[in-house]
Structure 1
């Protein structure tokens, strides 16, 4: 570990070789933790809980780092604690698959810490969901993601984000152009002035198109493309918070989430990405059997900054493409990755500079 990295993570760095350190984190007694001061026992002496936000009141840090170079298998016996546990060191270390993530380029430790400190509850829900969902079938994992998303829609962190943003009237404009040519269904996002943000209109039309493809065995390929400089800016922020009841929002997602239709035949989906691919754009494309991207494309999952998790299927699709640990890095840090990193990680299958799609 470099001195700069150690300095960045020192506040949350624990030594799992210290007797009892891991067990103290994994099996913390919340009944005895009225405040951060109650956690001053020797096993947690190296974790500074000051300024940890809401989780400090529960006696829990927002995250911890462990140095894999000084960690053996016995040090991580037992279940993970209910918050992110990030390793530093060799990503091929035998214990790396146990942790929520192993820090690696291009993710910056300071950016990750800042993001998690700002939304510790959403970060905790993120890693617990990822740990559980990876063992579930696609359809059941998507239900679990929606339930977790709904939980956070009722949280203080999400409410704070909503109250801080400038209100705007939702824009109902938007369309998805669907055209069948023999055994190929061409689906095109055509909302370029909104950077192909996915509002209710676009969401519903995507769901209908993917449902048709899933139900028709004669359709052998679905080619998803978009018009303009950006593939998709993700969910339309102007519509966030318009459905205030989380239970109602969950029921709506279970009837209209495009990922539910894609998940019935994900192998036939073929996606090409240009420019920005954010949020739901990443989440939907990650289901595809084949994903290509322009050399200038970039990818981002920014939902944690809103007090949320990816809610368009990304907590299911992205880990199954790049692994739970790298998916956690993308979500917890909120940082962009470029096309070259996406290719190395497996988020895309090839870099191809294709001709732009024009309005049909």
Structure 2
């Protein structure tokens, strides 16, 4: 008798809880990000971006570990020519997560190292458990962060602090990560996912178009100089005046006043 086939989940997938999309990593025990996982991550990110039911996103690696980073055995076998081809694929997966045009928080338990830390950096905020450990130890392997770490970390915590972490490969615990500005909130390990869901649920009924526009203006401005960033803001700001969301929000403000207005649009 033939045993029934088992349908395996991909290494990353999207689950929808109400209006929150939970982008889960599923390669236990440490959610190592090999090439298959990177492809699954990109697909899940694109799904989260396109699904209109999803108003906010939580990145979650599970209760034991967020992600210990790239598959070192897989990378050790790569030649220079292999990595020239693969580097764009690697960055592309992380860029797809960063490009999700909705509020996004990383829920970090355990290790977030190397590519795992870089993945957490793609989020708009990071909530971690008190036992979490974060870092970019790539220099200790004779390479550098290659999935956005050298660019996103300095923008988040400043170049001097980022260089110290990247140059030394030093790992930091949750409390130090909070002091550095690498994470935004530290909670007991068993409360990480629920804290992240609370963060995301604040945007379930919010002005979706304005939130997307704010994220686009901030992220676009960080990638350029102040003058160009102001031009991005000006363009995005003006575009919102063609939306129903803007009419709804301003009508409610006029009717209820600044102390009471809450957005109840789509």
TM-score (norm 2): 0.62
When residues 174 and 211 of structure 1 are mapped into structure 2, their CA distance, relative to the original with a 3 A threshold, is closer
Q: Work out whether residues 269 and 290 of structure 1, in 8 Å CA contact, stay in contact via their aligned partners in 2.
A: yes
Q: Matched residues in 2 for 1:335 and 1:235: separation? A: 17
Aligned residues: 183
When residues 179 and 274 of structure 1 are mapped into structure 2, their CA distance, relative to the original with a 3 A threshold, is same
Q: Matched residues in 2 for 1:209 and 1:186: separation? A: 10
Q: Matched residues in 2 for 1:343 and 1:236: separation? A: 27
Q: Work out whether residues 127 and 186 of structure 2, in 8 Å CA contact, stay in contact via their aligned partners in 1.
A: yes
User: 1:295: how far off?
Assistant: 0.9
2:26 is equivalent to residue 190 of structure 1 = yes
Which residue of 313, 337, 340 corresponds with 2:148?
Answer: 313
**Gap regions ≥5 residues in structure 2:** 1-8, 194-266
Q: Matched residues in 2 for 1:184 and 1:316: separation? A: 28
Residue 355 of structure 1 aligns to a residue whose secondary structure is helix
User: 1:271: how far off?
Assistant: 0.8
Which residue of 197, 205, 208 corresponds with 2:40?
Answer: 205
- Larger mean CA deviation between 284-293 and 176-185 belongs to 176-185
Aligned twin of 2:71: 236
Aligned twin of 1:288: 123
Moved over 4 A (4+): none
When residues 309 and 276 of structure 1 are mapped into structure 2, their CA distance, relative to the original with a 3 A threshold, is same
Q: Matched residues in 2 for 1:215 and 1:189: separation? A: 19
CA RMSD of superposed structures (Å): 2.3
Whose Rg is larger? 1
2:54 is equivalent to residue 224 of structure 1 = no
Q: Work out whether residues 25 and 61 of structure 2, in 8 Å CA contact, stay in contact via their aligned partners in 1.
A: yes
Aligned twin of 2:95: 260
Q: Work out whether residues 42 and 93 of structure 2, in 8 Å CA contact, stay in contact via their aligned partners in 1.
A: yes
Q: Matched residues in 2 for 1:276 and 1:301: separation? A: 11
TM-score (norm 1): 0.47
